[in-house]
């Protein structure tokens, strides 16, 4: 199992050096495809409901099925990559994702679409963490690793608003089915190019921690499901509380198992480094903030301002551009200023952006009422996410690259689910759980949710001070 099948650790090989930009481009585009599918169907949900006959409650599972399975299987997907080969598992994941995207686009019933979304999530959970691990093991020099991770983070974090834009454009110009079909040519290209471009990293002796894998998969899935259910049924719902308790118990059991097993699914040593531990906390907190922007502003633009799917998607262009440009800037900002200053700056901008959104009203126009906070959120999120991503992955040992990437993405999924559950609860209390709230009441609920999101951002601001101040400590 520990046979060396590649010379990734010796980057002076001319062939590998010349194709590294292509390797990075391939992995980044694939990750963008996986992330986009988290939000690409949001603006298309009314069209999907009309075409496939979804009930109002069942419609949410078009998005939730993907989130639930993706979050639950990430840690397992990363460990299977360590065990069976990261490139092999990445290719297998892209294969499953591509085929299930085709099935989703061809779906003729609600059941078929939900099943296809579940299969997509299985493929994404296999491909996502292993794409990140392959970047870490391919780019071994510190400066190259920071550069490549900066690109990966920029595209991955920009995928959420890009998904909304792409969903709006394709839905209005063609059909919601095009949002699924577009994955097919990208997936096929990746399957053709990956075996030719992506080097096979050195394998380390590994075995599958079955008790840990079972506890982690069950625990994370239970927590995500419980939080999704809490968003729909409230926190007083008996089944919701029961599922959340099961999730907490399984996660506690998982941590106990990991502290005692010789080859853990998630090595607890990942959290012993001060900067990396703080970065993981940021990766949990920040999605709790940004999820409110996508969820509530999409409704505000369509239900209050009366925008169509196309215009709603492009409303997030300013945020996406700010996010991607700023994320790329961290490549040279991080070695100069260190993660502490960048994350502090980023979280301050996010708090300001959310504070502006708390002033939203039924008469608020796009400029400056929405454009300004979206730019602030894009720039702040770019600085924060990219810095945390690089800190987590830039110094991790090759043997832990898969686990580190899986843990990172699991934190993001849990943060999104927890944030949405809490913010919808806040929204519900503010609107009195009205079935058909007026525009004024709808906006009141949104502004209360944005205020709660600002508190999450303030918590991330506090965490930022736990980073070491040394600029080069992470690179």
| Contact in structure between 90 and 126 (CB atoms under 8 Å) | yes
pLDDT of 192 above 80: yes
pLDDT over 60 at 28, yes or no: yes
> Tens of pLDDT along 460-469?
999 999 998 7
pLDDT classification of 229: cutoffs 50, 70, 90: confident
CA distance 284 to 144: 26
What's the farthest any 2 CA atoms get from each other in the chain? Answer: 65
Q: What is the pLDDT of residue 8?
A: 36
C-alpha distances out from residue 16 to 20, 46, 198, 295, 378, Å: 6, 47, 9, 42, 34
Backbone angles phi, psi at 204, to 5 degrees: -110, 150
What's the predicted TM-score (pTM) here?
0.83
Q: Which residues of 245-273 are buried (b: 16+ CB within 10 A; e: fewer)?
A: ebbeebbebbbebbeeeebbbbbeebeeb
Q: What is the DSSP letter of 448?
A: H
Task: Give how far the C-alpha of residue 149 lies from the chain's centroid of Cα atoms, to the nearest Å.
Answer: 15
List Cβ neighbours of 134 (8 Å cut-off, separation of 6 or more). Answer: 23, 27, 86, 87, 90, 198, 201
Query: Percent of the chain at pLDDT above 90?
Result: 40
What is the Cα–Cα distance from 264 to 456, expressed in whole angstroms? 31
pLDDT at 107 over 90: yes
Q: For residue range 321-345, list pLDDT tens digits in order.
A: 898 889 888 878 888 899 999 999 9
Are the CB atoms for 106 and 122 separated by under 8 Å?
A: no
Output the DSSP codes for 242-309.
Answer: HHHHHHHHHHHHHHHHHHH-SS-SS-GGGGTSHHHHHHHHHHHHHHHHHHHHHHHHHHIIIIIS---H
Which of 153, 198, 456, 210 lies closest to 326, judged by CA?
A: 153
Residue 432: count of CB within 10 angstroms of its CB: 10
Residue 30: what pLDDT? 92
Q: Is the pLDDT of residue 352 over 80?
A: yes
Q: Where are the alpha helices (DSSP H) in 174-262?
A: 178-181, 183-197, 210-233, 238-260
Mean pLDDT for the stretch of residues 67-85 = 86
Mean pLDDT is highest, among 140-144, 169-173, 182-186, 394-398, for: 182-186
d(CA 425, CA 232): 9
DSSP three-state, residue 218: helix
Helices 61-84, 210-233: crossing angle, 10 deg rounding:
170
- The reported pLDDT for the residue numbered 16 is 54
Per-residue pLDDT at 13: 39
Q: What is the dihedral of CA 317, 120, 392, 451, to 10 degrees?
A: 50
| Confidence (pLDDT) at 150 | 82
Minimal CA–CA distance to 77: which of 68, 64, 86?
Answer: 86
Check residues 325 and 309 and name the one with the higher pLDDT.
325
User: Mean of the pLDDT values across residues 250-269?
Assistant: 88
Cα(276)–Cα(274) distance, rounded to whole angstroms? 6
What whole-number distance in Å separates Cα of residue 264 and Cα of residue 227? 26
Residue 178 CB-density burial (10 A; 0-12 exposed, 13-18 middle, 19+ buried): middle
Contact by Cβ (8 Å): 299, 428: no
What span, in angstroms and rounded, lies between the C-alpha atoms of 292 and 396?
A: 31
Contact 134, 90 (CB under 8 A): yes
pLDDT of residue 14: 42
Write down the pLDDT at residue 471. Answer: 54
- Please calculate the CA angle 447-452-457 and round it to the nearest 5 degrees: 115
Give the pLDDT confidence score for residue 114 in this predicted structure: 94
Instruction: Tell which phi-psi region holds residue 205, choosing left (phi > 0), alpha (psi between -120 and 50) or beta.
Output: beta
Range from 237-246, 304-313, 418-427 that averages highest in pLDDT: 237-246
pLDDT bucket at 56, cuts 50 / 70 / 90: low
The pair phi, psi for residue 82, each rounded to 5°, is -60, -35
Are the beta carbons of 378 and 353 closer than 8 angstroms?
no
Confirm if 65 and 116 have CB atoms less than 8 A apart: no
Cα angle 367, 444, 431 (rounded to 5 degrees) comes to 150
Closest by CA to 411, choosing from 286, 278, 284, 326, is 284
User: In this model, does residue 432 exceed pLDDT 50?
Assistant: yes
pLDDT band with cut points at 50, 70 and 90 for residue 205: low
Q: Which residues contact 162 (CB under 8 A, 6 or more apart)?
A: 32, 36, 320
Other CB atoms within a 10 A radius of the CB of residue 441 amount to 14
């Amino acid at each position: 199992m520990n046979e060396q099948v590649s010379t990734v650790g010796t980057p002076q090989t001319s062939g590998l050096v010349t194709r590294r930009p292509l390797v990075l481009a391939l992995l980044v585009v694939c990750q963008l495809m996986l992330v986009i599918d988290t939000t690409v169907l949001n603006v298309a949900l009314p069209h999907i409901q009309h075409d496939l006959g979804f009930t109002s409650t069942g419609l949410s599972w078009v998005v939730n099925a993907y989130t639930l399975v993706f979050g639950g299987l990430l840690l397992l997907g990363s460990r299977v990559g360590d065990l069976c080969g990261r490139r092999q598992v990445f290719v297998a994941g892209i294969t499953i994702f591509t085929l299930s995207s085709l099935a989703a686009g061809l779906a003729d019933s609600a059941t078929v679409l939900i099943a296809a979304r579940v299969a997509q999530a299985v493929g994404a959970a296999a491909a996502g963490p292993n794409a990140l691990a392959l970047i870490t093991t391919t780019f071994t020099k510190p400066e190259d690793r920071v550069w490549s991770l900066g690109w990966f983070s920029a595209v991955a974090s920009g995928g959420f608003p890009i998904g909304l834009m792409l969903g709006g454009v394709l839905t209005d110009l063609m059909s919601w089915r095009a949002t699924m079909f577009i994955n097919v040519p990208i997936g096929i290209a990746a399957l053709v190019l990956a075996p030719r471009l992506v080097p096979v990293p050195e394998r380390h002796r590994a075995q599958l921690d079955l008790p840990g894998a079972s506890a982690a998969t069950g625990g994370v899935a239970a927590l995500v499901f419980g939080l999704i259910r809490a968003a729909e049924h409230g926190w007083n719902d008996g089944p919701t509380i029961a599922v959340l308790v099961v999730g907490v118990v399984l996660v506690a059991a998982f941590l106990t198992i990991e502290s005692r097993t010789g080859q853990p699914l998630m090595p607890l040593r990942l959290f012993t480094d001060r900067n990396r531990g703080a970065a993981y906390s940021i990766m949990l907190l920040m999605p709790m903030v940004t999820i409110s922007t996508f969820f509530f502003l999409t409704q505000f633009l369509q239900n209050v301002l009366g925008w169509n799917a196309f215009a709603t998607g492009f409303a997030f262009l300013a945020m996406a551009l700010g996010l991607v440009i700023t994320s790329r800037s961290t490549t040279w900002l991080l070695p100069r200023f260190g993660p502490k200053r960048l994350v502090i700056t980023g979280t301050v901008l996010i708090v300001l952006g959310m504070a502006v959104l708390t002033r939203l009203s039924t008469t608020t126009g796009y400029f400056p009422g929405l454009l300004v906070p979206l730019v602030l959120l894009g720039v702040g999120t770019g600085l924060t996410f990219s810095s945390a991503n690089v800190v987590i992955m830039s110094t991790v040992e090759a043997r832990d690259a898969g686990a580190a990437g899986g843990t990172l993405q699991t934190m993001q999924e849990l943060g999104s689910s927890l944030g949405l559950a809490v913010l919808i609860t806040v929204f519900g209390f503010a609107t009195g759980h009205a079935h058909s709230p007026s525009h004024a009441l709808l906006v009141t609920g949104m502004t209360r949710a944005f205020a709660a999101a600002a508190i999450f951002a303030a918590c991330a601001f506090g965490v930022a001070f736990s980073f070491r101040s040394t600029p080069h400590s992470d690179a």
